[in-house]
Amino acid sequence: MALISLNQITKHYEMGTQTVRALDGVTVEVATNEYLAFIGSSGSGKSTMLNILGCLDKPTSGNYHLNGTNVENLDQNQLSDIRNQEIGFIFQSFNLLPRQTALSNVMQPLIYRNIPLRKRKHMAQEALDRVGLGPRVDHLPNQLSGGQRQRVAIARALVTTPSILLADEPTGNLDSKTSVEIMDLFDQLHREGHTLIIVTHEDEIAAHCQRVVEMKDGKIFKDSYSGNPTKARETI
């Protein structure tokens, strides 16, 4: 069974008298431990895809199964639970709490699981150690570099042991050297068995992934497996 299964997903927005088809009949599956990029220009539908995959928005029609759960008809509280249990988010802007230390930021998603404070601290420390930030657990975000802040965000995504890591333009606010370091960390996480989905407009970032899904006008234009040419396929 696929970890993620989207079947004929649409997302339509009404703009005055016009209907914008942000997603227009998307069908795609993602297996456990895939390393996948959704890539496309502005207006291609990749950002809407991120919102659907992350249970931040509901499709207009179609079916979405995540780790065996049919999620498109869940209410907001149920979707919140799914996000906390199944998805680790990594954002371009980091989305860290500015007055909280690195350790407190990583502990944040554990609060909603009613995990005792001592265990939360231990889990957060382990996650920060894992991304190479163990010595900076007491630093505030403004005391960290951009790359270090993104590592905190990755640790926060990892700490809940989610089914998928979902990254939105994860190197968009980083310089080229730091971008390479962050992508090397993603590569390592994939080798450790994590399922990673990256939404990007950059070919260099997508090149790290074993599978690249190109989007255009709300549809999947091309779906290719660069890690194994025998699996390469296209849908137009």
User: Residue 85 has what DSSP assignment?
Assistant: H
- What is the percent of the chain with per-residue pLDDT over 70, rounded to a whole number? 96
Domain hosting 170: range is 4-231
pLDDT class for 227, splitting at 50, 70, 90?
low
Cβ distance 164 to 189 under 8 Å? no
Asked if the model's pLDDT at residue 232 lies above 50, the reply is no
Q: How far apart are CA 6 and CA 215, in angstroms?
A: 15
Cβ atoms of residues 154 and 103 within 8 Å? no
CATH number at residue 157: 3.40.50.300
- CB-CB contact of 44 with 215 (8 Å): yes
**Average pLDDT taken over every residue of the chain:** 91
What is the model's pLDDT at position 42? 87
Whether 212 shows a pLDDT value over 70: the answer reads yes
Q: Is residue 72 part of a domain?
A: yes
- Counted domains in the chain: 1
Q: What is the rounded CA–CA span in Å between residue 51 and residue 60?
A: 13
pLDDT band at 16 (very low <50, low <70, confident <90, very high): confident
CA distances to 93, 101, 106, 208 from 33, rounded to whole Å, are 25, 31, 23, 14
